Structure 1
Amino acid sequence: MLTNYLKIAWRNLVKHKSYSIINIGGLSVGMAVAMLIGLWIYDELSFNTYHRNYDRIAQVLQHQTSNGKIYSGPAIPYPLGKELQTHYGSSFKYVVMSSWEGEHILSFGDKKVTKTGNFMDVDAPKLLSLTMLKGTDAGLQNPNSILLSESSAKALFGNADPLNRLLKIDNKLAVKVTGVYEDIPYNAEFKGLTFIAPWTLYTVSENWIKRDRDESRWDDNSFQIFAQIADNTDFATVDRRIINSKFNNVSEEDKKFKAEIFLHPMRDWRLRSNWENGQNTGGLIDYVWLFGFVGVFVLFLACINFMNLSTARSEKRAKEVGIRKAVGSVRTQLINQFFIESLLVVALAFGLALLLVQLILPWFNQVADKQIVVLWTSPLFWLVGIGFTLFTGFVAGSYPALYLSSFQPIRVLKGTFKAGRFASIPRKVLVVVQFTVSLALIIGTIIVYNQIQFSKNRPIGYDRNGLMMIQMKSPDFYGKFDLLRTELKNAGVIQEMAESSSPLTDVWSNSGGFDWPGKDPNLDPDFATIWVTHDFGKTVGWQFKEGRDLSRAFTSDSSAIVLNEAAVRFMNIRNPVGTKVRWGSGPNAREFTVIGVVKDMLMQSPYEPVKQTVYLMDYSNVNWINLKLAPNKSVSECVAVIESVFRKYIPSAPFDYKFADVEFGKKFAIEERIGKLATFFAVLAIFISCLGLFGLASFMAEQRTKEIGVRKVLGASVMNLWSLLSKDFVLLVLVAFGIATPVAWYFMSNWLDQYEYRTPISWWIFALSGVGALLITLLTVSFQSIKAALMNPVKSLKTE
């Protein structure tokens, strides 16, 4: 019986080739999209599961209240690590102090490489459950040691044994290799951790860190803490215990910030990382849900095509059903027959979908910033795949099987069977659903693109074109600025050059403790604080609103301060130039004079307001060199000369540089990835919908062949016939547009609410989407409509 079912199913597929191609092609595309989205969601949900105890690992965060608003973040004071270990040790298995992940120079002999790593406590390898390839996870117990990732060891030593080799970090910290660990996979937060050095070494590497350690400073939030909770407790319990661990130790003055310490579980780092006024507001989990729904809907669109075309051709198979029922077939057998046909189509589509996924994955990985692979050897993958195929076959074939098997044999064989005036309603409803989903995706894609462009075109307050940034990662950089500047200016490859304490695309320091005349006593001052050297304004192209720039002509500028517009608004001062600003208290307090106000420099998130910022002169507190390239020379020529000069004066450090415009562009990475993926899925949704329209239009033209012939004989023009065959589909798309518009507006308005600096939702977005969908529909339907209208009526009427 099964063999007969398969034979009949195969013959039907071969007999109706165009119908089969549309069905198999549409289903395969829908299934490929669903598989890609499924693999993407699996990768997101399995993020960080490389770490064996990831469900018990957390990062220590704190809430702080300032000016009536709660801010949440991972920056933690130095003494908190010891506090948690000493007074709350029973709640933790490991408490690991850590620096911020950053780029450092690792040098071995003449070989120098720039690698990203952290300084961490001795228990870090156990907490992260690193797979040690050489040495042990106790390698950080030696304060002058280092653990290398497999790729870092390869880069430095090739195939030679790295153990016990001596290295230097940033040309100043001598360390010995005590272990090599397996590279952390790409779907983990610590994927960039290519080396780990001891925390105790970090505490003696810089004077400010020594000061924080020796003075137990609770007011300097400059570090990180990672922890693994004890086996006999849970995160909620530990949170209740440690909530006041900082508040109880800060000064009476700092208690006003109401510091609350809590744990952010590793399982939430990736998907639930957004905080607003002390509450977790989600994050990437929103996109996981979004694309999950998109995958389901795109597959649903493909199933709709199958059901539409199967039921549309019902009259063609009515006699077959009637004859089979007349010779004894029961309805169950007919249902089985149609389900077998459906499963055959789906099985062929599944095979084609696997091929499409394999072909698309390299591009998909590049767009999604993933390293996803098809799990060919995984039994679970095949179990899910086969189950997925059976489920899809059942869903796609259920309506046709039940509908076709319900025909009455007497009516069919007497020729009195008609589909009925309402038989096409389900098909029309399904077409409306298809285009509603497709239009909503198109509208959403346009709004995402507009949001990105709106933020990219936002005024940034400086000229980032031709701005190069070089981090001073080694002591060898210091004291050579004048030599570098003089030679590069003489070579004509730079316009100007200056130093700063932060890169031009980020702020590394925020400070409080400022006071000025007229300050509201209830205001908690918090400023982004950037130290610069002379000519910083000329280098970046500052735009002054009031006052003047820092100048070598004024020796008093060592006590001068430049504000941005946001700082003036925050301080609420009408005539800022000349205002005296006091920073600090007691004998260490310093007084500064405001000499100028510049337009807001956008250095942090392009979606948020620019933070109030102060710029101060300090040659000893800078670690970035900023260069403005000469506009009359090519970038490659300038870079080559700059590299030769830097290698001449600083041969001990690799020549690593960044361009401000490139780094600024990276701030849009997540939104651009989402936009590209949404565009890809929207195009495929439209493609699947058009496949279905093409098939239905083809069937409708075939069904109305005689009517078209009669109308032509009676004088109907091609345009009349085209209008007749197209108007129903146009009406369906207009109905879909009416439904998609408010739905898309609602969801995209909610999505834009997460951005404080956001694009408006304009009417033209909906109009453009609707007109585009209408044109695509007309193009799709017109091919079959015009083909039918141009047919010779003699042929169409001479069929009996």
Structure 2
Amino acid sequence: MFRNYLKTAWRNLLRNQSTAFINIGGLSLGMAVALIIGLWINDELSFDKYHQNYDRIAQVMQSRANNGETSTSDMVPLPLTNALSTTYGNNFKYVVQASGVWQHILSVGDKHLTMTGSYIQAQMPDMLTLHMISGTRAGLKDPSSVLLTETSAKALFGNADATGKILKLDNKMTVKVGGVYHNLPANTTFSNLAFMAAWDLYKIADPNLMKSTGDWGNNSYDLFVQLKDGVDLNQVSAQIKDVKLRNADAESAKLKPVILLHPMSKWHLYAEFKNGVNTGGAVTYVWLFGVIGVFVLLLACINFMNLSTARSEKRAREVGVRKAVGSLRGQLILQFYIESVLLALLSFVLSLVIVEFALPYFNQVADKSLMILWHSPMFWGAGLVFTLLTGILAGSYPALYLSGFQPVMVLKGTFRTGKMAALPRQVLVVVQFCVSIILIIGTLVIFRQVRYSQSREVGYNRAGLLSMEMYSAAIHSHFASFRNDLLNSGAVVDVAESGSPTTSIYNTVGGLKWTGKNPSMNDEFAMVGASMPYGKTVDWKLVEGRDFSPAFPSDSSAIILNEAAVRYMNLKRPVGETIDWWGRKYHVIGVIKNMVMQSPYEPVKQSIFFINKDAGNFLNIRLNPKQNLQAALNTVADIWKNYVPEEPFDFKFADLEYQKKFDAEKKVGSLSSLFTGLAILISCLGLFGMAVFMAEQRTKEIGVRKVLGASVLNLWLLLCRDFVVLIIVSLLIAAPVAGFIMHGWLQHYSYHIDLSVWLFVETAAGAFTLTLLTVSYQSIKAALANPVKSLRAGE
């Protein structure tokens, strides 16, 4: 019997090739989308699980209250390490300090490479359970050692064993390779580390480190812990929350600092804190794309349901004969389920082919390295279950509907599906339209939000502005002559040092005093130290006052505020105002337009710019727009090599770095548009199939109307009318739902677009156009048909 069911199912597929093509095409696309999203979600959910102690590792963070708002940071003071180790050591297996992750120069002979690394205490390799290729995890116990990734070791030493080899770090420290470990997977937090350097080397790299050992106000370090087995993270977090508050000075204590543990299991998906509370983060997109995957697959299943039930009259006689010769309804249901599962299996095979070809493009858009898990039994088991569920879902309604036909009415020829039989199909089509419209509106909102933020006035000129991180004081020591050589070359308009790039803020300061300040106010400012020509180099926009100038020796005690700082301080006449900065008097000489140096979606932070005579961390170079770009870069590179031949000429364009701030939203928008396009394609396949069926069903009616004088336009309107009604109903349902969802999404950004009525009008126009284009071909073809043939076909 089962073999008979399979034969029947196969023959039905061959007999109705157009319907089978639409069903298999739609289902395979839907399953491909679900598979790709499933692989992406699996990658996201497995983030950091590469580390064996994944569920016991946490990062120490702190929350601070400032004027009614609580901010949470992963940077903590250095003495916190000792406090946790001594007072609460029974709770921790490891307490590990680390510096920030920065670019460094690793040199072997004449080879100088820029790599990302961090100074880390010796227990970190054990905490992260690094898989060593050579050497041991204990390699960092040597105070002058580094551990390299497999890729870094090969870049520096080729195929030779790097362990024990000597290299230079930042051209000033001779270090030994203590070991080489396998590259960490892309879906780990530390995958961007090309090397780990012994913590003691940090003391040489930063002489100010020793000053921070007892400074509870200097929040500049990372701190990681691994809990002992059986220790509850939440209980420990509650025990240590007041450690800093008990040790901080009076000024820091005003911010009421709270120490907390953030588990590794939440680093990637739950990284967002608002007002001191962990509110989520990237997990939102996991849910979002998971829902999209389910709905896209549902659209494909709806196509199968609609086309199967629409062609019910062609299967009615088969059902009547089978029931007349003794088939039970359960047997018929099984037969139709087997047909749908067979179709789902064919679709699954085709979907694997689609996924294999689509993954390279998807990985490029999503910045992933996903691949089909061909050798994973779990993947094939999940794929089989997924296929069976899809087949059962797609075939459930047709199986129950078709098996319920009465054999007497069918065989007498009096069976008619009736008008109400079309209602479930119309409901399903409305569901399809609703999902597609919601996806379209969501995608449009995301892209418009990105475009809106990209067009925001940034307060300086990014075009032709280079940013270079300086790894030594070599340029600073000869800055005047270096600058003169650049200016004399004609390739550069100006050059300046600064403590941070134009696309970031590295330092903040508080405890300032000014006229009219509320004594209870806990102030905080972004602080940017720079050399004298900084304003001219970045081409900032003065609102009032003047720029820094060598003509005024007193500018060593001058500051420039941005507009946000003026509002924050409530200054009526800012120029000439005196600011007390930790006992030293500074006078305000100018106000500039707000420079967007952090998130383009958030308000600009109140900022102070001052002259810093110490070495800056970054070099800002304004290229001459009148010179050829490549020629100018070559000139700057040659001058750079004259001063620091041991450091690579490694530069970044400020405008490209600024554009990176939109990468996350662009990625979501690109993926949403991809899935939306596939959802629309699947819906259009279903619409086309329904249009073919309706044209066939009304063949005789069309012939009669043509004989009575109906025009092609009248017949086209007649056949399209039902679909237009369904679009209108779908828009009335989907538009408010999409508006509600996207309004909530936009609230995550302080600087965002407003939902315009034109957005919904454009979506409606697009939906009407797309639907009419989809059904018009078959409608016009039916309207142009010879009425004689139409009347004969209807006999």
Q: TM-score, normalised by structure 2?
A: 0.99
SS at match of 1:146: strand
Asked if the contact 1:172–1:475 (Cα under 8 Å) also holds between the matched residues in 2, the reply is no
Amino acid in the other structure paired with 2:408: I
Tell me what 1:447 maps to. Answer: 445
CA contact (8 A) 2:544 2:590 kept: yes
d(CA) in 1 for partners of 2:615 and 2:599?
A: 24
Deviates more, 1:319-328 or 1:404-413: 319-328
1:797 CA displacement = 1.4
The whole-number CA distance in structure 2 between the counterparts of 1:703 and 1:29 is 28
Conserved 8 A contact 2:528-2:608: yes
Structure 1: unaligned runs, 5 residues or longer: none
Q: Is the 8 A contact 1:146 1:178 kept in 2?
A: yes
Find the residue that maps to 2:650 and give its secondary structure: coil
Q: Contact 2:438/2:735 (CA < 8 Å) preserved in 1? A: yes
- Structure 2 match to 1:635: 629
| More divergent stretch after superposition (516-525 vs 607-616) | 516-525
Percent identical across equivalent pairs?
54
- Which range is displaced more, 631-640 or 535-544? 631-640
Structure 1 residue 324 displacement after superposition? 1.6
**Cα distance in 1, alignment partners of residues 786 and 516 from structure 2:** 91
Q: Which residue of 1 aligns with 2:769?
A: 775
How far residue 232 of structure 1 moved from its aligned partner, in angstroms, is 2.1
SS of equivalent to 1:756? coil
Q: Deviations over 1:266-315 (max 9, x none)?
A: 11111111111111111111111111111001000000000000000000
The AA in structure 1 aligned to 2:576 is G
Deviations along 1:681-725, one digit per CA (max 9) or x if unpaired, are 111111111111100010010011111001100101001111111
Q: Deviations over 1:149-199 (max 9, x none)?
A: 111100100011212211111111221111111111101111101111111
Equivalent residue number for residue 287 of structure 1: 285
Aligned: 1:746 with 2:744: no
Confirm or deny that 1:38 pairs with 2:38: yes
- Give 1:380's match in structure 2, choosing from 368, 373, 378: 378
Question: Once the 2 structures are TM-superposed, how far is the Cα of residue 253 of structure 1 from its aligned partner?
Answer: 3.1
- C-alpha displacement at 1:483, in angstroms? 2.5
Aligned AA (1:668): F
Task: Give the superposition deviation at 1:523.
Answer: 1.1
- The answer for the alignment partner of 1:114 in structure 2 is 114
User: Per the alignment, do residues 296 and 758 of structure 1 end up closer, same or farther by CA in structure 2, a change over 3 Å counting?
Assistant: same
Contact 1:565-1:612 at 8 Å conserved across structures: yes
Which residue matches 1:678? 672
1:655 counterpart = 2:654? no
Distance 2:565 2:615 in 1: 22
1:273 partner amino acid: A
1:342 matched residue in structure 2: 340
Within a 5 Å distance, the mapping from 1:213-362 to structure 2 comes to 213=213, 216-362=214-360
CA distance in 2, matches of 1:243, 1:200: 28
1:535 aligns with: 533
Q: Is the 8 A contact 2:105 2:113 kept in 1?
A: yes
Residue 544 of structure 1: how far off its partner (Å): 0.5
Q: Choose the corresponding residue for 2:485, options 487, 492, 504.
A: 487
Aligned counterparts of 2:245 and 2:116: Cα–Cα separation in 1: 33
Report if aligned partners of 1:29, 1:688 keep a CA contact under 8 Å in 2. Answer: yes
Amino acid at match of 2:18: S
Identify which of 777, 783, 791 aligns with 2:785. 791
- Which amino acid in 2 is paired with 1:496? D
Aligned to 1:158: 158
State the SS of the aligned residue for 1:225: strand
CA distance in 2, matches of 1:743, 1:621: 55
Q: Aligned AA for 2:150?
A: E
Q: How does 1:603-642 map to 2 (within 5 A)?
A: 603-642=597-636
1:465 matched to 2:459: no
For residues 561-613 of structure 1, what are the alpha-carbon distances to aligned partners after superposition, in whole Å with 9 as ceiling and x for unaligned? Answer: 111111111111111111111111xxxx3211111010011000111111111
Which stretches of structure 1, 4 residues or more, deviate above 4 A after TM superposition? none
Counterpart in the other structure of 2:721: 727
Corresponding residue for residue 391 of structure 2: 393
> Would the aligned equivalents of 2:579 and 2:586 in 1 still touch at CA under 8 Å?
yes
Which residue, 433, 442, 455 being the options, matches 1:435?
433
State TM-score, norm by structure 1.
0.98
Q: Deviations over 1:44-66 (max 9, x none)?
A: 00001011111111110001111
**Structure 1 residue aligned with 2:590:** 596
Q: CA deviation at 1:621?
A: 4.0
CA distance in 2 between counterparts of 1:643 and 1:257 reads: 46
Equivalent-residue separation in structure 1 for 2:250 and 2:497 (angstroms): 37
Assess if the C-alpha contact under 8 Å between 1:106 and 1:169 holds in 2. yes
The 2-side partners of 1:408 and 1:635 are apart by: 80
> Partner amino acid for 1:279?
V
- Amino acid aligned to 1:283: G
Pairwise CA distance, 1:619: 2.5
Displacement of 1:230 in angstroms is: 1.2
The answer (yes or no) to whether the contact 1:147–1:196 under 8 Å persists in 2 is yes
Q: Secondary structure at the match of 2:137?
A: coil
Deviations 1:411-447 (A, max 9, x none): 0011100002200000000000000000000000000
Task: Give the residue type in structure 2 aligned to 1:241.
Answer: Q
**Alpha-carbon distance in structure 1 between the residues aligned to 2:16 and 2:177:** 69
Aligned residues: 794
Report Cα offsets for 1:762-791 as digits up to 9, x if no partner: 111111011101110000111110000000
Match of 1:420 in 2: 418
For the residue of structure 2 that corresponds to 1:551, the secondary structure is coil
Secondary structure of the 2:93 match is strand
Q: 2:142 aligns to what?
A: 142
8 A Cα contact 1:105 1:474, kept in partner: no
| Distance across 1 between alignment mates of 2:459 and 2:653 | 17
Q: Report what 1:646 is aligned to.
A: 640
For 1:132, the equivalent position in structure 2 comes to 132
- In the TM superposition, what whole-angstrom CA distance separates every residue of 1:713-769 from its partner, at most 9, and x where no partner exists? 010100111111100001001100110111001111111111111111111111101
Contact persistence 1:100–1:118 (CA under 8 A) = yes
**Residue type matched to 2:744 in 1?**
N
Structure-2 separation of matches of 1:774 and 1:616: 58
Match of 1:84 in 2: 84
Query: How many angstroms does 1:207 deviate by?
Result: 2.6
Q: Deviations over 1:332-361 (max 9, x none)?
A: 221122111111111111000000000000
Paired amino acid for 2:616: V
CA contact (8 A) 1:81 1:225 kept: yes
Which of 566, 576, 579 does residue 578 from structure 1 map onto? 576
Distance in 2 of aligned mates of 1:428 and 1:699: 14
Three-state SS of the structure 2 residue aligned to 1:38 is helix
Q: Distance in 1 between matches of 2:345 and 2:178?
A: 54
1:254 CA displacement: 2.2
Residue 553 of structure 1 corresponds to 551
Contact 1:274 1:282 in 2 (8 A): yes
Tell me by how many angstroms 1:667 deviates: 0.5
Shift of 1:256: 1.3
- d(CA) in 2 for partners of 1:500 and 1:130? 37
Separation of aligned partners in 2, 1:369 and 1:798: 59
Please say if residues 147 and 177 of structure 2, whose CA atoms lie closer than 8 Å, have aligned partners that are also in contact: yes
2:688 is matched with 694
What residue is the counterpart of 1:12 in the other structure? Answer: 12
C-alpha distance in 1, partners of 2:737/2:603? Answer: 29
**In structure 2, C-alpha distance between the alignment counterparts of 1:67 and 1:208, rounded to whole Å:** 31
Q: For 1:798 and 1:673, how far apart are their aligned partners in 2?
A: 56
SS in 2 for 1:253: helix
Letter in 2 for 1:95: V
**How far apart in 2 are the matches of 1:486 and 1:251?**
45
* 1:167 equivalent in structure 2: 167
Give the match for residue 47 of structure 2: 47
